Amino acid sequence: MKTKTKAKPKPPELSKEAISAAALRLIDEHGLAEFSTRKLGHALGCEAMAIYWYYPSKDALLDAVAGLLMTGVGAALAPQPDWIGTLRAVAHAYRKIAHDHPNAFLLLATRRFASEDTFAFLDKLFELARAQGITDRVTARFYRVVSSYCSGFALNELAAPRGPQEPRTAALRRKFARVDAVSAWLDPQHLDELFAFGLELQLEALAKERAR
């Protein structure tokens, strides 16, 4: 008499949205380096291969996670009377991703936007510039400069120690008085002010370019 083998439990109903949201949760919890489709499948209660029915590759899935991260930034593109104010809100919303999802932010800083969601965001952003009479060439220049500033600032911020200074660093600061004096203004409590300072310089330059 043949022994009946236990049937495998049916995988839960999946969707692209559910998979990308679960991937983001895993990256938030364990970090990007530890992320794998095998671990994601375990979290979803399915085989890793089931994920590939929805995303052709791990890269495609990570692109979708990047699009999910950009949701809040896209919301900041809501029309305002002051178009510079809209751009300001977008930049601050982008930096906020680094605070809310420090482990996943690296996706935005190191990968090119390559999903429909992120392209839709860029299309709206560039249309905002076009509506102000800004040429595509100038738009490209400022997009590259401002986006690089926001990404670089956020990455630097994530890398900066938040707790007490490491003893060797503290000793070096005491040894070099001028470095110590300036570094006091680079400490975490001044980061909001520093970010706003650099951003406003760039937005002011863009406003002047439009006036020209």
Q: Residue 24: give its domain's CATH number.
A: 1.10.10.60
- Judge whether 28 lies within some domain: yes
- Judge whether 86 lies within some domain: yes
Same domain, 147 and 80: yes
Per-residue pLDDT of the chain (212 residues; tens, 9 = 90+): 555 555 444 455 799 999 999 999 999 999 999 999 999 999 999 999 999 999 999 999 999 999 999 999 999 998 778 999 999 999 999 999 999 999 999 999 988 888 899 999 999 999 999 999 999 999 999 999 999 999 999 999 998 876 677 888 889 989 999 999 999 999 899 999 999 999 999 999 999 988 77
DSSP state string for the chain: -PPPPPPPPPPPP--HHHHHHHHHHHHHHH-STT--HHHHHHHHTS-HHHHTTT-SSHHHHHHHHHHHHTHHHHHTTS--SSHHHHHHHHHHHHHHHHHH-TTTHHHHHHS---SHHHHHHHHHHHHHHHHTT--HHHHHHHHHHHHHHHHHHHHHHHHS--SSPPHHHHHHHHHSHHHHHHHGGGSGGGHHHHHHHHHHHHHHHHHHHHH-
Same domain, 47 and 79: no
Same domain, 76 and 152: yes
Same domain, 38 and 133: no
Same domain, 104 and 205: yes
Number of domains present in the structure of the chain: 2
Same domain, 171 and 132: yes
Same domain, 94 and 149: yes
- Judge whether 76 lies within some domain: yes
Same domain, 98 and 24: no
pLDDT of residue 189: 92
Which residues constitute the domain of residue 44?
Answer: 10-55
- Judge whether 1 lies within some domain: no
